[in-house]
Every structure is written in C-alpha cells, then in structure tokens.
Amino acid sequence: MPQRIGVIGAGYVGLVTGACLASMGHQVTLRDIDEAKVRMIGDGEPPIHEDGLKQLMHECRDRLRATLDLAEMLEASEIVFIAVDTPPTHSGDADLSRVMTVLDELEQIGATGEHVLVMKSTVPVGTGERVRAELDKRGLESIGYCSNPEFLKEGVAIADFLSPDRVVIGDFRAADGDKVAALYEPLGAPILRTSVPTAEMIKYASNAFLATKISFINEIANVCEEVGADVIEVAEGMGLDARIGPKFLSAGVGFGGSCFPKDVSALKQLAGNSGYHFQLLTSVIEVNELQKRRVVGKLKRHLGDLEGKEIALLGLAFKPGTDDMREASSVVLAARLLAEAASVRAYDPVALEAARHTVRGVEFFDDPWACVTGADAVVLVTEWPEIIGLDWPKVAQVMRGDVLVDGRNALDPADAVAAGFAYEGIGRVAPS
Ligand code: UDX
C-alpha cells in the first residue's frame, strides 16, 4: 500500500532513498535546508552525480517533491527518514548537531501523532537511545524511532537500494519497526529485526570489515611484490573459498569515499571512548594511509628524484562512477608528489570540478591526451572505463618517459610492457 514518506536531508543518501521509495509507488516529500538543492530537485535535476538517478526522478516526478519547510513535510508524511550529515568532530566523534537540530524543529512545530523517525544516517552506537530520550524529554513520546542503516555504494546506489543483500531495522517498539519493514517487503530481501544499538553496530561492523578486507589484500599485495607472486591470482584463489568470498579483495592505492574512512575511525573512536583499544582497526587505517603513498616510492624507483618530473594522474574521484572526491587517494597522492617538487597534472572524466576545490597546485585537464602528453610517468588512480579503454600504446608514444603505475591493477601487464611501458602494478610482477 502506498505510504506517505518524508526524508529529512536531500543529500546523497536522502535523495537516493526518496527517489527509490517514490519509484516503489510511495508519495515522497524531501526536506532540505539548502534552497538551491530544493529548487534543483523541483526542476528534476539531481544535485549529485549518481547513475540512473535523474531518470528515476523523472519517472516518478508525480510522487517526489522537495521543500524547505519541515512542517509541510511532516504534514505530508507518516514515516520520516533522517538522512542528514554526521561528519566527524575534532575528537573523531560524530557531529550529531544536525540530528539534534531536527529534534528542536520537531519540538518547535509541536509535532505529534503517528510519525516514525527512521535513522538512515550512520550514527554512533547509542545515538538512537539518545534521540529516544531527547524525544521523550521534549514531550514527543508519540513519535516512533527506528534505526535503518543504509548500505548503498556510490555509483550503484539505486540498484543497491532496490535489490539489497539485507535490510536491517532496529526498533524500540515493534509496531514502529513493522511499518518500516512493510516498506521493504516488496524487495524480497531478508529483513533483520534487531534492537536499535545492534542495528547501529551492524552498519559500523560491516563497513569496518570491508575496509579490513581491503587493507588486508593491500598488505598481501605488498608482500607479493617482494616474493614475486601475483595478488590478482592470490585474491582469486582466496575468494573461491566460500568462507572468504571474492568481493572487496582488489588491491590498489587504498580506500576512500564518504563512508569507509569515516566509519572505521568512528568505530575505533567509539571503542576507545568505552575503554577498548580496537587494535585491528588502528592498523587498517594506517595500512590505508601508507598504501596511498606507496606510489611515490614506485615512481622514485624509476625516476629517481621527482623534482621537476611531470607526473600525470589519470582519475581523481575516490572510485569510478562518481564525482565524489571525499578522502580520495588522489588527494594524498597529489599532495605528496607536490611535496616532492614534482609537477602534477590530472584528468578525470567527471570529478574535475569537485577536484579543483579539493586539490591545490595541480594542473587540471579535461582531455586525457593533453594530460599525458610529455609526462615522465602516468599513474592510473581511478579505474574509469574511459581511462582503462585509452589507446595505451599511443599513450606510451606521446609521453616523454615510459613509467606507468597502474594503481588499480586495471591493465594487462604484458600488454603494457609490449607497448613500451616500464609497468608497475600493485602486487604484480610485470614480465620483462
Ligand atoms: C561503501 C560501502 O560499500 C557501502 O555499503 C556503505 O554504505 C558506504 O561505503 P562506497 O563508499 O560508495 O560504499 O564505495 P565502495 O564501492 O564500497 O568502495 C569504497 C572504497 O574502497 C573505494 O575507494 C574503492 O576504490 C575501494 N576498494 C573497494 C578497494 O580498494 N578494493 C576493493 O576490493 C573494493
């Protein structure tokens, strides 16, 4: 049965959630405090780059609208998703001020009735209990609260929402959880019902485990380089063990994005605050930081001192399919190369605009050929299809030098060597 849904925060998670729920037949009202965003959504323009989102917004435009007015959104909805930012504070804890502002607003407008708040944002374990207590303190006892963490991957977020591996719902009152579960039932995925702190923990534990898998395979790759093994085959051989699984075993220049770095640190912090030193996560973070920097060592091995060397970075976004530059490995890599007095140029098919605001001192190109021409070394940082599909023998010809660091193991080493490159992958030995 179609429900009346509200979404507070029309950012990445909120917009995808809203559009997907509208596509399932529900009436969705998004609320954001950013006037420009609200206007763009009203015009059918997604304020973020996400594959298929514009099309989906267009298809369900009659059931998806945006407003600046919280009261208006509440009026139009029963189940209200909260998808506001929870950035880390200086202490590494999550900043919940935006969540608390929503509670203040609910109190001010005297919200009552059947509303169920559903926390989509990733929040520290214990937040739900805090919010519940705040709601009760403000006389908002009738408002329900559930935790329903998102597991969306940027670039494939719509598919992830509509075909999830699982849906996790934590509640204080079963009736509230039932309402949220009913929304997801048509998707046919397993729905796990838990307490609120457990649901909150599932999100952190899942992301921390995936990040651990990546740091693990990156360290295996580093050892492979020393002993002459090939990490891609090692990962394949490991992944065939059903207990391990093949996913998230791609070695590279480290993980980035809006979730993994933030969530791994937040879980480490959370453990620390309760007196537990989460040793493993400390290493996961450190390995990831070192992994971003290892490219510099590889370049130096071939070029010696990097001062004045022309280094071309192909791909800047933290992964393909997005313009998101948050915690992208390219940012650290570019800064390190600049600190070595190298001259850094960069190309990205989508993230150039976002990158200009994030990385200083780099020369940006909107054409990959202009970027690589005359370069001493090329580093493949983000495995965009348009970068992998370049005519690599031609790249070798237009460069000044011959060094190619394939930071995502996206190219065939034998082909690269045949094209004339001095090829360096991550955890692979190029044929000589
Ligand atoms: C992640 C989680 O997958 C998602 O469930 C959560 O809700 C948000 O965080 P996302 O940040 O969009 O999603 O990207 P993801 O595809 O998971 O990749 C994260 C980072 O890890 C990227 O920088 C990617 O390049 C890197 N990565 C991923 C690897 O280096 N190796 C891998 O095998 C997989």
C-alpha 255 to ligand 1 mean position (Å): 7
Q: Which amino acid type is present at position 168?
A: V
Query: What secondary structure letter does DSSP report for 24?
Result: T
pLDDT category, 117, cuts 50, 70, 90? Answer: very high
Q: What CATH number is given for 208-424 in this structure?
A: 3.40.50.720
Q: 35: Cβ–Cβ under 8 A, 6 or more apart, which residues? A: 68
Residue 10 has pLDDT above 80, yes or no: yes
Average of per-residue pLDDT values in the chain: 95
Among 52-61, 67-76, 99-108, name the one with the lowest average pLDDT. 99-108
Q: Using the mean position of ligand 1's atoms as its centre, give its distance from the Cα of residue 75 in Å.
A: 37
111 has a pLDDT exceeding 80? no
Of 62, 87, 79, residue with least CA distance to 11? 87
Beta carbons of 14 and 21 less than 8 angstroms apart: no
Our mutation pick for probing the ligand 1 site, out of 120, 260, 295, counting the most ligand atoms within 8 A of Cβ, is 260
From residue 227, alpha-carbon distances to 19, 209, 233, 377 in Å are: 49, 27, 14, 25
Over 80: is that where the pLDDT of 91 sits?
no
Which residue is closest in CA terms to ligand 1's atom 8?
A: 259
> Does any ligand 1 atom lie closer than 6 A to the CB of residue 122?
no
Mean pLDDT of the 200-219 span: 97
Closest Cα to atom 24 of ligand 1 = 255
318 Cα to the center of ligand 1, angstroms: 9
Categorise residue 326: left if φ over 0, alpha if ψ from -120 to 50, beta otherwise: beta
Of 17, 8, 29, 199, give the one whose Cα is nearest residue 98. Answer: 8
Residue 78 has pLDDT above 90, yes or no: yes
CA of 297 to the centre of ligand 1 (A): 25
**Collapsed DSSP state (helix, strand, coil) of residue 345:** strand
Alpha-carbon distance 295 to 154, whole Å? 25
Catalytic residues: 259
Check if 250 has its Cβ closer than 6 Å to any atom of ligand 1.
Answer: yes
pTM more than 0.85: yes
Q: For ligand 1, is residue 145 a contact (CB within 6 Å)?
A: no
Structure tokens at 341: 């007095």
* HEC string for 345-400: EEECCCCHHHHHHHCCCCEEECCHHHHHCCCCEEEECCCCHHHHCCCHHHHHHHCC
Given a cut of 80, whether residue 208 has pLDDT beyond it is yes
pLDDT of the residue at 87: 79
Q: Does residue 93 carry a pLDDT above 80?
A: no
Q: Who has greater pLDDT, 107 or 196?
A: 196
Report, as an integer, the average pLDDT of 207-211. Answer: 98
Question: In the chain, which segments carry CATH 3.40.50.720?
Answer: 4-194, 208-424
- The verdict on the CB of residue 216 being under 6 Å from ligand 1 is no
Please name the helix (run of DSSP H) or strand (run of DSSP E) that holds residue 423, with its range, or none: strand 422-424
Band of residue 279 on the pLDDT scale cut at 50, 70, 90: very high
Give 187's DSSP letter.
Answer: G
Q: What sign does the dihedral 240-187-123-355 (CA atoms) show?
A: positive
* β-strand pairing of 167-171 with 363-365: unpaired
Distance of CA 387 to the CA centre of its chain: 21
Q: How far does CA 304 lie from the centroid of its chain?
A: 35
CATH of domain 4-194: 3.40.50.720
Mean pLDDT calculated for residue range 214-225: 98
pLDDT at position 112, please?
A: 72
